[in-house]
Amino acid sequence: MEENEFNYINVIPLVDVMLVLLTIVLTTSTFIASGAISVSLPKASPQQAQAAKSQIISINSQGIIYFAAKMVSFEDLNALIKDIDRETSIILRADQSIRLQVFVDVLDLLNNKGFKKVAIQTQRKDQVKEL
């Protein structure tokens, strides 16, 4: 049995496959780039786009609680935060020398009231001033 060598390569099937792939790529890229999916976006008034205001709770070195820069007792704080939206950001600032229990009580109160956006403000170590 004698084998014949190929004298030529039939490239027509290869060209057909490449043209189909090229057509698919060009069709999908044009579809994505032109934004052919028409979507009617909803309208919103500028007042709704404003971010919620954050509230600040501070505890000084004597353990006195301040809400919005006004001195309050723990019970007053409980009453004041009752009317605040639960999506409001709360920033908790506490002096480093306070009793831990005061801090934990305020944090526990915020947690029990359902606040999820509570941040504890700290200072970077390289920015701390020497006394």
3-class SS letters over the chain: CCCCCCCCCCCHHHHHHHHHHHHHHHHHHHHHHHCCCCCCCCCCCCCCCCCCCCEEEEECCCCCEEECCEEECHHHHHHHHCCCCCCCCEEEEECCCCCHHHHHHHHHHHHHCCCCCEEECCCCHHHCCCC
Which of residues 2 and 76 earns the better pLDDT score?
Answer: 76
pLDDT number for residue 127: 54
Tens digits of residue pLDDT in 31-61: 655 444 445 455 655 554 445 578 888 888 8
Say if 128 falls within a structural domain: no
Whether 21 is in a domain gets the answer no
Domain assignment of residue 127, yes or no? no
pTM summary value: 0.55
The pLDDT of residue 69 is above 50: yes
- Please state the domain count of the chain: 1
Between 46 and 78, the more confident residue is 78
In a domain, 81, yes or no: yes
Compute the distance between CA of residue 108 and CA of residue 13 in angstroms, rounded to an integer: 72
Mean confidence (pLDDT) of the chain: 78
Domain assignment of residue 90, yes or no: yes
Residue 107 pLDDT greater than 70, yes or no: yes
CATH of the domain at 98: 3.30.420.270
Q: Which domain holds residue 106?
A: 55-122
Residue 71 within a domain: yes
